[in-house]
Amino acid sequence: MRLRNVPNAHEKLSESTNYIRDPQAYKGRWNEYFKNDNPIYMEIGSGKGQFIIRMASENPDINFIALEKSPVVLLQLIKKIPSDGLVNLAVISFDAEKLEEIFDSGEINRLYLNFSDPWPKKRHAKRRLTSPRFLEIYKNILKPGSLIEFKTDNRDFFEYSLEEFRSSGYNLLKATYDLYNSDFLEGNIPTEYESKFHNMGVPINKLFAEYDPKNSKEEVSHN
Ligand X SMILES: C[S@@+](CC[C@H](N)C(=O)[O-])C[C@H]1O[C@@H](n2cnc3c(N)ncnc32)[C@H](O)[C@@H]1O
Please give the positions annotated as active site.
117
Answer yes or no whether residue 117 interacts with ligand X by CB under 6 A.
Answer: yes
CB nearer ligand X, residue 35 or residue 201: 201
Q: Binding marks (x or -) toward ligand X, 74..113, rule CB under 6 A? A: ---------------------xxx----------------
d(CA 191, CA 94): 20
Backbone angles phi, psi at 110, to 5 degrees: -160, 145
Bridge-based pairing state of the strands 63-68 and 171-176:
unpaired
d(CA 19, CA 120): 32
E strand intervals along 30-83: 40-44, 63-68
CB nearer ligand X, residue 204 or residue 209: 204
How many residues bind ligand X (CB under 6 A)? The answer is 21
Q: Binding marks (x or -) toward ligand X, 44..63, rule CB under 6 A? A: xxxx----------------
What is each CA distance from 212 to 26, 47, 85, 193, 200, in whole angstroms? Answer: 25, 28, 35, 30, 37
Answer yes or no whether residue 212 interacts with ligand X by CB under 6 A.
Answer: no
Q: Which of 89, 191, 205, 209 binds ligand X (CB under 6 A)?
A: 191
Point out which residues bind ligand X (CB under 6 A). Answer: 1, 44-47, 67-70, 73, 95-97, 114-117, 191-194
